[in-house]
């Protein structure tokens, strides 16, 4: 269960493909008559279509005192637009069996659309209305605000959410990454319809738009739909981008006391940018250390040998203005100190000794062999197309990915291990009642 969010991050972060025998790899770049670009995998076997799109600059565009504006916008675009009030818009979506959703991440504002082929034009028209003519009706604004507020209140006592909030706040302080993307009850209460219109006016610009489309449509059919849907958005807008930032708080341990039997632990240090020349070495290294589920070194030491946890994991998390290397574990309070010691020792061992030739070979086989398993649903492929574009990896990336992974040597691994693995410089947050762990600065809430 815990690996689900982690897999999501992976999908969005490393989205490249192996050569696939069949049609799944035939990615075309579609340029609409009006100049909008999308990547398309045309797949007529199932009568439906998935669209993913995103605009660079998401929650980081929020004003600090109105943090959560982008998130609130994402809940309101389908709550009344164009000629339809909220109920009419929602009814239309249901009658046409169109699935539409929006979300605001730290670095991008994204959306997705799924429709049956028969309702394609109507689905794109609803998307056009949502993006260009949302109402922000007072009733809908207050209703979505109530939903966000109850969600924030519910997350107050959630151990994982507490750990995540404190970790990011400690690491990034006043930088947009230090604030929860959904805001706080105070900032969410302050957001107005004008704030949201202001956010949209900044966030939706065609020069920061990326689109991936998979399913029952041809390039010739898609072009005009792109123009109709996105063509009226401004070509570009002025936005202030956040500064590059380094993580703070390395080497500290924070304990938040909560009356739960199992402590939730999050740890992290600086990571690598997606464009770093050592990215693939780090990617392979992390798979072996803590990214590989049942086969990872951390799982072997913590779970298989000692029964200390159900789940222990690590992942690379590159963002647009920083990069971190994160991990986590959940362990009963009496054994947290032991679990942390085992994890740190394994990170140190890996830093000092690298990987074995066999581990490297096995990792390559897995990372290349399992890649096509991500291409099993149109929505997933559409999100991959988006990520490849966002990271500027090139339309032939799927053909080159296996080569890039296979080129990683033990020397590369040794070099990147020294750089990436910092067992003594982790920022560790523990939420629970851990025995024998003294936080550097106990935060009692």
Partner 1 sequence: MSRNFSAFAIICFVFAGFTAGLIRPADAALFHPKTHDLANGMQVVVIEDHRAPVIAHMVWYKVGAADEPPGKSGIAHFLEHLMFKGTPTVPSGEFSKIVARNGGRDNAFTSYDYTGYFQNVAQDKLELVMRMEADRMVNLELTEKDIKTERDVVLEERRSRTDNDPAAQMREAMNAALYLGHPYGIPVIGWNHEIEALNHRDALAFYRRYYAPNNAILVVAGDVKAEAVFTLAEKYFGPLQRADTPPRVRPQEPPHRAARRIAFNDARVSQASWQRKYLAPTRTAGDSKHAIPLSLFADMLGGGTTSRLYRELVVKQKLAAGAGAYYNSTGLDLGGFMLYATPSPGVKLADLEEAMDKVVAEVLKDGFAEKDLERSRTGLLAAAIYARDNMFTSPRIFGDALTSGLTVEEVETWTDRVREVTMAHVMAAGRSVVNIRSSVTGLLLPEGEAGK
Contact call for residue 309 and partner 1 (CB under 8 A): yes
Distance between CA atoms of residues 314 and 76, nearest Å: 34
Site string for partner 1, 171-210 (x = CB under 8 A): ----------------------------------------
Q: Is 356 in the site for partner 1 (CB under 8 A)?
A: no
CB of 162 to partner 1, least distance (A): 11
CB closer to partner 1, 108 vs 331: 331
Q: Binding residues for partner 1, how many (CB under 8 A)?
A: 77
| Site pattern 83..112 for partner 1 (x: CB under 8 A) | ---xx--xx--xx-x-x-------------
Please, which residue, 87 or 357, has the CB nearer to partner 1? Answer: 87
Asked if 406 touches partner 1 (CB under 8 A), the answer is: no
Three-state SS across the chain?
CCHHHHHHHHHHHCCCCCCCCCHHHCEEEEECCCCCEEEEEECCCCCEEEEEEEEECCHHHCCHHHCCHHHHHHHHCCCCECCECHHHHHHHHHHCCCEEEEEECCCEEEEEEEEEHHHHHHHHHHHHHHHHCECCCHHHHHHHHHHHHHHHHHHCCCHHHHHHHHHHHHHHCCCHHHCCCCCCHHHHHHCCHHHHHHHHHHHCCHHHEEEEEEECCCHHHHHHHHHHHHCCCCCCCCCCCCCCCCCCCCCCEEEEECCCCEEEEEEEEECCCCCCCCHHHHHHHHHHHHHCHHHCHHHHHHHHCCCCCCCEEEEEEECCCCEEEEEEEEEEHHHHHHHHHHHHHHHHHHHHHCCCHHHHHHHHHHHHHCHHHHCCCHHHHHHHHHHHHHCCCCCCHHHHHHHHHHCCCHHHHHHHHHHHCCCCCCEEEEEECCCCCCCCCCCCC
258 is a site residue for partner 1 (CB under 8 A): yes
> Which of residues 37 and 333 has its CB atom nearest to partner 1 in the complex?
333
* Smallest separation (angstroms) from partner 1 to the CB of 230: 24
C-beta closer to partner 1: residue 29 or 310: 310
Q: Which of 370, 395, 407, 425 binds partner 1 (CB under 8 A)?
A: 370
Specify the stretch interacting with partner 1 by CB under 8 A; choose among 51-59, 102-110, 261-269, 416-424: 261-269
In the complex, least distance from residue 241 CB atom to partner 1, rounded to whole angstroms: 34
Which residue in 28, 143, 404, 422 binds partner 1 (CB under 8 A)? 143
Sole window of 199-207, 244-252, 256-264, 383-391 interacting with partner 1 (rule: CB under 8 A): 256-264
Q: Is residue 154 involved in binding partner 1 (CB under 8 A)?
A: yes
The answer to whether 46 contacts partner 1 (rule: CB under 8 A) is yes
Between 312 and 416, name the residue whose CB sits nearer to partner 1.
312
Residues 310-339 that bind partner 1 (CB under 8 A): 310-311, 313, 330-332
Stretch that binds partner 1, among 150-158, 170-178, 248-256, 347-355 (CB under 8 A): 150-158
Q: Binding partner 1 by CB under 8 A: which of 306, 349, 415, 433?
A: 306
């Amino acid at each position: 269960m815990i690996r689900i969010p982690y897999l999501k991050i992976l999908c969005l972060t490393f989205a490249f493909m192996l050569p696939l025998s069949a049609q799944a790899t035939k990615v075309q770049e579609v340029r609409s008559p009006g100049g909008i670009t999308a990547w398309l995998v045309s797949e007529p076997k199932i009568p439906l279509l998935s669209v993913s799109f995103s605009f660079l600059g998401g929650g980081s565009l929020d004003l600090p005192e109105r943090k959560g504006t982008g998130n609130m916008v994402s809940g309101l675009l389908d709550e009344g637009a164009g000629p339809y009030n909220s109920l009419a818009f929602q009814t239309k979506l249901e009658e046409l069996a169109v699935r539409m959703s929006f979300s605001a991440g730290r670095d991008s504002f994204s959306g997705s659309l799924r429709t049956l082929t028969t309702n394609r034009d109507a689905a794109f028209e609803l998307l056009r209305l949502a993006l260009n003519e949302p109402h922000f009706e007072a009733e809908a604004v207050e209703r979505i605000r109530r939903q966000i507020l109850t969600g924030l209140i519910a997350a107050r006592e959630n151990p994982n959410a507490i750990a995540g909030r404190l970790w990011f706040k400690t690491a990034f302080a006043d930088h947009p990454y230090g604030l929860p993307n959904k805001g706080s009850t105070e900032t969410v209460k302050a957001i107005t319809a004008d704030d949201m219109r202001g956010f949209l006016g900044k966030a939706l610009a065609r020069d920061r738009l990326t689109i991936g489309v998979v399913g029952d449509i041809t390039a010739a059919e898609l072009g005009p739909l792109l123009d109709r849907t996105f063509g009226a958005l401004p070509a570009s807008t002025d936005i202030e981008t956040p500064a590059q930032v380094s993580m703070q708080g390395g080497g500290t341990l924070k304990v938040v006391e909560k009356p739960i039997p199992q402590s939730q632990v999050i740890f992290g240090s600086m990571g690598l940018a997606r464009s770093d020349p050592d990215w693939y070495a780090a990617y392979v290294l992390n798979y072996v250390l803590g990214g590989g589920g049942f086969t990872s070194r951390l799982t072997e030491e913590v779970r298989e040998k000692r029964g200390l946890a159900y789940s222990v994991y690590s992942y690379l998390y590159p963002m647009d203005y920083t990069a971190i290397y994160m991990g986590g574990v959940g362990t009963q309070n009496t054994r947290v100190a032991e679990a942390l010691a085992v994890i740190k020792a394994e990170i140190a061992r890996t830093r000092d000794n690298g990987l074995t030739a066999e581990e490297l070979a096995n990792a390559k086989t897995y990372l290349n062999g399992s890649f096509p398993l991500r291409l099993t649903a149109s929505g997933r492929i559409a999100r991959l197309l988006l990520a490849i574009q966002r990271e500027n990896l090139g339309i032939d990336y799927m053909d080159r990915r296996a080569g890039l992974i296979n080129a990683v040597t033990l020397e590369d691994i040794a070099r990147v291990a020294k750089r990436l693995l910092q067992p003594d410089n982790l920022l560790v947050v523990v939420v629970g009642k851990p025995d024998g762990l003294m936080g550097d600065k106990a935060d009692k809430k």
